[in-house]
Amino acid sequence: MSTLAIRDLHVTVETDQGTKEILRGVDLTINTGEIHAIMGPNGSGKSTLAYTISGHPKYTVTQGSITLDGEDVLSMTVDERARAGLFLAMQYPVEIPGVTNTNFLRTAKTAIDGEAPSIRTWTKDVKTAMSNLKMDSSFAARNVNEGFSGGEKKRNEILQLELLKPKFAVLDETDSGLDIDALKIVSEGVNRAHDNTNLGVLLITHYTRILRYIKPQFVHVFVAGRVAEEGGPELAEQLEEEGYVRFVDESESDT
Ligand code: ADP
Ligand code: MG
Ligand code: MG
């Protein structure tokens, strides 16, 4: 078992108005094989948390730690984090003009494993993963995310997840912009990765919709840059009925 531990994490960004603290003491522990949902209103810092875990240079950690089995993640480069087993599926996946999906996946797989995958098994694995995600085979030869629809980009993120086999995946609003069929397909991909490779999942979402298909054991309500409440699946059901009003009001009254 591996453990990703976030302790008292404080993160700032530089804005036109100066330095702004966005994460204000996040504590979170996730083990491989566990599914955690982070739910919270817009602007609460969910994407900031995802980017900070993956090492985006825009975000400065001013206090606290992120460790993976005791190793300091914050001192690792983005590449080292990927090799250590961290994967981020972004809210807005980037296009990579001039690089085909096939080449990108093979290069990433080689970099992460430290050796090139054998061609025969790799070709088969890519085909199987694409067909599981109901992706047309033409997507293999297309440039990464270039001209993909929102839903196609999200599927492509899960394709990477299934092939790269990380220990932990941070999925940032993987449900947004998906129609119901795509949502099911993407969710099945995440569940496969969880069942087959004991993946630890940090599922960031604004809506409870995706939680009908991916079942978290732990739910964390994220408000104003920190975890405001934690519970089991029942907490998500409560949010579905009540929204975030209660938490937002509380966070305003204590500042
Ligand atoms: P969420 O994903 O929960 O909607 P974000 O992490 O995207 O929230 O943003 C949290 C807050 O931090 C927002 O008020 C957002 O405008 C601000 N923020 C995030 N990144 C930046 C940035 N690079 N520059 C300025 N403000 C930012
Ligand atoms: Mg603190
Ligand atoms: Mg976001």
Specify the ligand 1 atom closest to the Cα of 41. Answer: 3
CATH value at residue 240: 3.40.50.300
Q: What is the pLDDT of residues 91-145, one digit of tens each?
A: 788 899 999 999 999 999 999 999 999 989 999 999 999 999 999 999 999 999 9
User: Could you tell me which of 57, 111, 110 has the C-alpha nearest to residue 79?
Assistant: 111
Best residue for ligand 1 mutational test, from 9, 10, 48 (most atoms within 8 Å of Cβ): 48
Range of the domain at 191: 3-253
Pairing of strands 168-172, 200-205: parallel
* Contacts (Cβ under 8 Å, ≥6 apart) of 245: none
Residue ID of nearest Cα to ligand 1 atom 15 = 43
The complex's ipTM works out to 0.94
Which amino acid, one-letter code, is at 74?
L
Q: What is the pLDDT of residues 29-70, one digit of tens each?
A: 999 999 999 999 999 999 999 999 999 999 999 999 999 999
Q: What is the DSSP letter of 118?
A: P
* Structural domain count of the chain: 1
| pTM across the whole model | 0.93
